[in-house]
């Protein structure tokens, strides 16, 4: 449980910060859906590429030199 301050600030519990990988200075989007607030950490493209490296299949993709002009 958290308490909203007079400035509408809340402290994110440590377990949630760890699970979501939230660090000081990180940007987080707050989305409301169905009366529930979701905290969504915003990550840059370079971070996404690093996380996905090796997980994306190259099968079925042709090299530029193999494509017809």
User: Residue 24 in contact with residue 14, Cβ under 8 Å?
Assistant: no
Model pLDDT for residues 4-46, shown as the tens digit of each residue: 999 999 999 999 999 988 899 999 999 999 999 999 888 778 8
Write out pLDDT tens, residues 41-62.
887 788 777 777 776 666 656 6
Confidence of residue 69 (pLDDT cuts 50, 70, 90): low
Going from N- to C-terminal start, the domains of the chain cover 25-56
Model pTM score:
0.56
Residue 64 has pLDDT above 80, yes or no: no
How many angstroms separate the Cα of 53 from the Cα of each of 14, 37, 47, 49, 57?
28, 31, 10, 6, 10
């Amino acid at each position: 449980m958290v308490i909203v301050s007079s400035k509408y600030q809340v402290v994110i519990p440590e377990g949630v910060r760890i699970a979501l990988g939230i660090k000081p200075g990180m940007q987080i989007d707050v989305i409301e859906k169905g009366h529930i607030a979701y905290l969504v950490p915003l990550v840059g493209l370079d971070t996404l590429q690093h996380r996905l490296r090796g997980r994306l299949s190259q099968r079925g993709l042709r090299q530029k030199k193999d494509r017809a002009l």
